[in-house]
Amino acid sequence: MATSVRATSDGSPPSSRPAPSTSRRGDPGAPGNWRAKLYRLDTKASPYAYIAPFFLVFAAFGLFPLIYTGWLSLHHVELGESGSGSWVGFDNYTNLWDNQFFWKALRNTFTLGVISTVPQLMMALGLAHLLNYKLRARGFFRVAILAPYATSIAAAALVFVQLFNPDYGMINQLLGHFGVDGIRWDSSKWPAQIAISSIVTWRWTGYNALIYLAAMQAVPSDLYEAAALDGASRWRQFISVTIPSIRPTIFFTIIVSTIGATQLFGEPLIYGGGVGPTGGTDHQYQTLSLYMYDKGWQVGQLGQASAVAWVMLLILLLIGAVQLLVIRRSRRKLGS
């Protein structure tokens, strides 16, 4: 809207152009009026045409699935069933509330999220700090830490499954030398969750480290010089200069990692092998995404799966809102 207003208010160059063209072609009957209408239409409507592709694509692939999933979640719909299913109101949601497997999946999603995100971001911060120093072959290290990000989830998960195999895996062999024997990485709850979160951590640490590194390089060096003059140690500089300076970036990575953790799917599915969608024999590491997949594509209850999807969205919005509040408060505290 703003553009069109501006275009008409100071639009002397465009208005001069149509006049000669009409005279040249010698348009018969109501020449100026029709042209002016067309011109007005152009300035008013064409901006919408320019932005339309985004909104059309968004409507088709973003908004429609969102609303359709919401509609499905209020119906009893089975996979492949023709017709529109039957209206069940909020039954799918109340069933989830009473469902022990849903709560288990929610708890697992939370614990897996915490043990994969927190160490991951801490390590990324440390790595970025190290890479920020002038060191030999810096370019090589920067590429190297991003390498895990370039591997596919499936490939990484399959390798980790072999490493964590309780019977002949390398991790248990290694632990055996220290007198720790027979950890059931496949079936005990916490070992399995740690193994899965190690896949996530391995894949994403480098990616976050690079984002931190980019933010760190934008921190003015005179801040460090001033801190050094004041006698601050390297560690003190990191805590008092680096961290506050890249605070917005840290919040960004926290939000992105939280979203990623809530949607955790491929790693536990592949890690589970034959018991994949149930996430272990006793749902030890079944996440919400896995539960949704199990409901939708294994059992074929699309309505219930859609309800899980919507609950996941609501949880993400809730977490996002909490994070926003925390960010606002911390900004206010800083006073900037």
Partner 1 sequence: MRTSGRTRKAAVIAVAGLATCATLITGCSSSDDNGSKGSDGKSSSSEQITLHIGDFNEFGYNDKTGAKLFSEYEALHPNIKIVEDNVTDGQQYWDSLKLHLQQGSGLDDIQAIEVGYIAEAIQPQLASKFVDFKSIKGFSADDWVSYKEKQATTADGQVIGVGTDIGPTAICYRTDFFQQAGLPTDPQQVAALWNGDWAKFVQVGEQFKAKAPSGVAFTDSAGGLFNAVLSSQPTQFSDQTGKLVYDSSPGVKTAWDLSAKAVKEGLTAKLQQFDSNNTWSAAFKTGKFATVACPSWMTGLVSTNSGPANKGKWDIAQPPQAGNWGGSFLAVTKASKHQAEAAALAQWLTAAAQEVKIFQKFGNIPSNKGGLSDPAVQNTTNDYFGPAGKPAPTGKIFATTAQSIQPAPIGPDDGTVKDIITKNGLLDMEQRGTSSEKAWSNVKAQVKDKLGE
Note the residues at the interface with partner 1 (CB under 8 A): 80-82, 99-101, 161-162, 165, 167-168, 184, 186-188, 273-276, 278, 281-282, 294, 297-299
Q: State in angstroms the smallest separation of the CB of 258 from partner 1.
A: 27
**N- to C-terminal Cα separation, the chain:** 33
Of 35 and 104, the one with the shorter C-beta distance to partner 1 is 104
Of 129 and 295, the one with the shorter C-beta distance to partner 1 is 295
Of 22 and 187, the one with the shorter C-beta distance to partner 1 is 187
Of 275 and 316, the one with the shorter C-beta distance to partner 1 is 275
Radius of gyration of the chain (CA): 28
| Residue 159, number of CB atoms within 10 A of its CB | 13
At 168, list the tokens: 């002949």
Q: State in angstroms the smallest separation of the CB of 27 from partner 1.
A: 32
Cα atoms found within 13 Å of the Cα of residue 35, Cβ hemisphere only = 18
Q: State in angstroms the smallest separation of the CB of 156 from partner 1.
A: 15
Q: State in angstroms the smallest separation of the CB of 223 from partner 1.
A: 47
Of 123 and 299, the one with the shorter C-beta distance to partner 1 is 299
Of 108 and 258, the one with the shorter C-beta distance to partner 1 is 108
Q: State in angstroms the smallest separation of the CB of 79 from partner 1.
A: 8
d(CA 17, CA 146): 54
Of 34 and 61, the one with the shorter C-beta distance to partner 1 is 61
d(CA 77, CA 59): 23
Q: State in angstroms the smallest separation of the CB of 186 from partner 1.
A: 7
d(CA 308, CA 61): 19
Q: How deeply is 67 buried, as exposed, middle or buried, from its count of CB atoms within 10 A (0-12, 13-18, 19+)?
A: exposed
Q: State in angstroms the smallest separation of the CB of 215 from partner 1.
A: 37
At 283, list the tokens: 């749902």
Of 21 and 187, the one with the shorter C-beta distance to partner 1 is 187
Give φ, ψ of 197 to 5 degrees. -70, -25
At 38, list the tokens: 């067309």
At 31, list the tokens: 């020449």
- Within the chain, where are the H helices? 2-9, 12-16, 18-25, 31-58, 64-72, 91-97, 100-131, 138-150, 153-163, 170-177, 189-217, 221-229, 234-237, 243-245, 247-262, 266-271, 288-293, 302-334
Q: State in angstroms the smallest separation of the CB of 100 from partner 1.
A: 7
